[in-house]
Each structure stands twice: as C-alpha cells, then as structure tokens.
C-alpha cells in the first residue's frame, strides 16, 4: 500500500509501544503506527480512509504516566510516549465491551448471513468471549428489506457508523444518519424512510461492504455467504486526498 508522501513540515518522533522502539510521523495516530508495525489493536468503528469516530472504545491503550486510558484511533503519537496495548486490564475491558455489544441486540451468529465473515464475531473469538455474562436486552428491532439489492437488519447493528461515514465522506450521498439517543439509537436512511424509497442512495453498495457485521448485507445471501470487501476504501480515500 503506498503511503502518502510526508508533508514538508512534519517531524518524525520516536516512541515505545509494547517494549518496541518505533518511529512515526508526528501527525500519525497510535492506531496507524500500530497497524504499520503489525501490532494488533482491536477496533470496530475505525476504518482507514474514514474520519475518526472513537465510539467502539476497543482500541484503548495505556500510556505511561497518564492515569486515563486513551483511544489509539484518536490519539496522536508524541516524542517519548510509552504505550502498552495488551495488558490484563485492557483485555478485561475489551472482553466486557464485546459482551456489552452482544447483549445489546441480537447476535446469534449461527443464523446470520455474515457468519464466518463478521468482524464482531472474529473479535469475540480473539478476545476469548465464549459466553456472555450479561443478560440479553431482547429488544425487537425491525428489518428493512425495501431496497432491491441490500438489506438492513437493525438487530445486528453495532452503531459503529461506518455506513454513515462512508456514504457521506466517500460516496458523497449522505443517505445514512443516526437517530435517537442512548440505547434507542438506530441508523436511518434519509429522513427515516425505508431504504428502498431513499432519494439519495445511489445503490453503490459501499455501506454494505464496510459494515462489520451482518447488519448490512446483499439480498439473497444465505448464512455464511456474505463476504465483505473493503480494499477499495483506502485506495479511494487516498486518491481523493491526493487530488
């Protein structure tokens, strides 16, 4: 993957992540440096090429000398920073966050078309979530199948807003948004009209490809079939950026 050419005034700093000395451009975020150096940081809302959201809180890391944890996706590197990405405490928090997500809506993987190709599912496996300690919320959510090519199942949505951001920032349609607050939040198309009646959607499918779960899928796929392809995103984002 080609990296953007460094800006003339950007300095390079050195920092220590998980006991490794690394160098980074000072305008980079911790998650970018970690990914470059193959240090795994779990994340669900972050996607290279989209704006920073900071909502899933899975990327949190410990910084020496700082009481608070910080989100790696929204924290810039600094000279001399010492970072731990995989402590016992962080593993416990990440595990709990994944459990909170599972208990919030319906994530019964065995009947999901994304089974086997889902970022939430594989994250749960990585975090060792083999059961959920929390009671399931069991709120019934609707499914919107009105679009001729795609389907939205709110029960599988984790509100990462990747769809909102890709449609707005890359496709330029701004079909998606979020309505409500707290646990009543849900993604909507246009002014909460059925997706099939949307006047802004170009049916480009970008939202479906970036959705980490089985919330956005192609119509007609059956369990285990829905493979997502996100390689277009950084390429498109960089081309636009270069222009």
Partner 1 sequence: MHLEDLAEQAAQYRNEDAHIEREVRVCVAASCQSSGSLPVLEALKSACDTQGAGSCKVKGVGCMGLCSAGPLVAVADKDCALNESVLYRDVTPDDAPDIMASVCSTPVERLRCPTDQPFFSRQQRIVLEHSGLIDPDSLRGYIAVGGYAALVRALTEMTPADVLREVTTSGLRGRGGGGYPTGLKWSTIAKMPPGQKYVVCNADEGDPGAFMDRAVLESDPHRVLEGMAIAAYAVGASKGYVYVRAEYPLAVERLETAIRKAKRAGFLGAKVADTQFAFEVEIRLGAGAFVCGEETALMASIEGLRGQPRPRPPYPAESGLWGCPTLINNVETFANIAPIIREGGDWFAAIGTEGSKGTKVFALAGKIKNTGLIEVPMGTSLRDIIEVIGGGIPDGRAFKAVQTGGPSGGCIPEAHLDIPVDYDSLKTLGTIMGSGGLIVMDETSCMVDVARFFMEFCMSESCGKCIPCRAGTWQMHALLDTLTKGRGTRADLALLEDLCDVVRATSLCGLGQTAPNPVLSTLRYFRDEYEAKLLGDA
Contact residues toward ligand FES (CB under 6 A) are 43-46, 54-59, 71, 73
Q: What are phi and psi of 238, to 5 degrees?
A: -70, -40
Selection from ligand FES, partner 1, ligand SF4, none that 220 binds (CB < 5 to 8 A by kind) is none
Nearer to ligand FES, 47 or 201 (CB): 47
Nearer to ligand FES, 15 or 59 (CB): 59
Instruction: Calculate the alpha carbon distances from 214 to 36, 51, 82, 107, 205 in Å.
Output: 28, 22, 37, 9, 14
> Can you tell me which of 163, 226, 233, 237 binds ligand SF4, judged by CB under 6 A?
163
Q: Which of residues 168-207 bind ligand SF4 (CB under 6 A)?
A: 171, 173, 175-176, 187, 201-207
Residue 73 DSSP code: G
Closest CA to 188 of 207, 169, 171, 204: 207
> Can you tell me which of 158, 217, 226, 237 binds ligand SF4, judged by CB under 6 A?
158
For residues 15 and 83, the answer to whether their CB atoms sit within 8 Å is: yes
Nearer to ligand FES, 41 or 207 (CB): 41
Can you say whether the dihedral through the CA atoms of 37, 38, 43, 45 is positive or negative? positive
Interface with ligand SF4 includes 162 (CB under 6 A)? yes
Looking only at the bridges linking them, the beta strands covering 82-84 and 12-17 are parallel
Binding site for ligand SF4 (CB under 6 A): 157-163, 166-167, 171, 173, 175-176, 187, 201-207, 211-213, 215-216
């Amino acid at each position: 993957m080609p990296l953007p050419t460094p800006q003339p005034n950007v300095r390079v700093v050195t920092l220590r992540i998980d006991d490794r000395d690394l160098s980074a451009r000072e305008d980079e975020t911790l998650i970018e440096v970690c990914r470059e150096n193959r240090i795994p940081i779990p994340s669900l809302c972050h996607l290279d090429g989209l704006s920073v959201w900071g909502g899933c809180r899975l990327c949190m890391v410990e910084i020496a000398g700082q009481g608070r944890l910080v989100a790696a996706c929204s924290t810039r590197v600094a000279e001399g920073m010492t970072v731990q990405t995989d402590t016992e405490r962080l593993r416990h928090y990440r595990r709990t966050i994944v459990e909170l997500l599972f208990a919030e809506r319906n994530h019964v993987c065995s009947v999901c078309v994304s089974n086997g190709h889902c970022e939430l599912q594989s994250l749960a496996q990585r975090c060792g979530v083999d059961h959920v300690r929390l009671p399931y919320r069991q709120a019934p959510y609707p499914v919107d199948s009105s679009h001729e090519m795609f389907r939205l199942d709110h029960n599988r949505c984790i509100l990462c807003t990747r769809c909102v951001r890709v449609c707005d920032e890359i496709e330029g349609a701004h079909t998606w948004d979020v309505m409500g607050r707290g646990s009543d939040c849900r993604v909507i198309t246009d002014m909460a009209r059925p997706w099939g009646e949307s006047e802004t959607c170009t049916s480009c499918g970008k939202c479906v490809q970036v959705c980490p779960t089985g919330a956005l899928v192609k119509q007609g796929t059956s369990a285990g079939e829905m493979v997502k392809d996100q390689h277009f995103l950084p390429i498109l984002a960089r081309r636009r950026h270069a222009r």
